């Protein structure tokens, strides 16, 4: 992917160099960046609250879509519009959790699962569960999407937190409870009642 991208980048850089004296291409770029906040809206096009929590294709599998900068809440340091643990996923212990992380903004953010208590640390630790985070979570990712999955094999209070230095400390995290008692996954957004997972987004039947 990166190798395929590099020639294009090199090409556009040389094009930019050639156009150095003409301001027009810069205006063009601004249009592509979409909107005053610089969000790439196409990365979240079609996503709704129902996508935040869906049943997976296999039994005891659940799909989470967790979007950084979903709203302007907490200066953009939110996931799905919530910060400081005000949204809460509850997942039954033993389920497989497939996470799609999306960041439509130019500001780097990341997503990892950590113990809830660790959201108070300046620099968050490594993911608590094996595979439970994006790569380079300290550096963060801007303008992009990344998928990871893990097995929720230990009950407890966790957080889906941004690993970029000081972000979790400033509220860039939401709650993740892994529960012995829960029979099915739920998501509570703010003061709303917890909702059950939406059905799997089904492919059109053949």
Q: What part of residues 83-112 is at the interface with Cu ion (CB under 5 A)?
A: 109
Name the segment binding Cu ion (CB under 5 A); options: 43-51, 78-86, 130-138, 168-176.
168-176
Q: What part of residues 27-66 is at the interface with Cu ion (CB under 5 A)?
A: none
Let me know the angle formed at the C-alpha of 176 by 175 and 179, rounded to the nearest 5 degrees: 135
Closer Cβ to Cu ion, 172 or 188, answer by number: 172
Closer Cβ to Cu ion, 142 or 198, answer by number: 142
Q: Does 173 bind Cu ion (CB under 5 A)?
A: no
State which residue has the least CB distance to Cu ion.
162
Q: Does 188 bind Cu ion (CB under 5 A)?
A: no
Give the residues across from 179 on adjacent strands.
92
Pairwise CA distance, residues 39 & 105, whole Å: 5
Minimal distance in Å, beta carbon 141 to Cu ion?
10
Q: Does 137 bind Cu ion (CB under 5 A)?
A: no
Number of chain positions touching Cu ion (CB under 5 A): 5
Q: Does 172 bind Cu ion (CB under 5 A)?
A: yes
Name the segment binding Cu ion (CB under 5 A); options: 23-31, 121-129, 143-151, 165-173.
165-173
């Amino acid at each position: 992917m990166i190798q395929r991208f590099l020639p294009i980048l090199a090409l556009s850089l040389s094009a930019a160099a050639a156009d150095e004296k003409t301001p027009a291409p810069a205006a063009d770029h601004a249009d592509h960046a979409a909107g005053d906040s610089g969000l790439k809206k196409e990365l979240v096009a079609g996503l709704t609250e129902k996508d935040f929590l869906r049943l997976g294709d296999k039994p005891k599998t659940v799909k989470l879509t967790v979007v950084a900068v979903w709203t302007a809440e907490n200066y953009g340091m939110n996931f799905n519009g919530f910060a400081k643990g005000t949204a809460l996923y509850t997942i039954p212990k033993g389920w497989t959790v497939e996470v799609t992380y999306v960041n439509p903004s130019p500001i780097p953010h990341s997503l990892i699962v950590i113990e809830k208590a660790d959201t108070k640390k300046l620099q968050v630790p490594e993911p608590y569960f094996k595979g439970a985070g994006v790569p380079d979570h300290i550096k963060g990712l801007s303008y992009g999407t990344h998928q990871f999955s893990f097995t929720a094999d230990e009950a407890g209070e966790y957080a889906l937190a941004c690993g970029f230095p000081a972000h979790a400390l400033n509220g860039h995290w939401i709650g993740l409870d892994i529960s012995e008692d829960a029979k099915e996954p739920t998501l509570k957004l703010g003061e709303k009642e917890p909702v059950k997972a939406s059905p799997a987004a089904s492919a059109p039947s053949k």
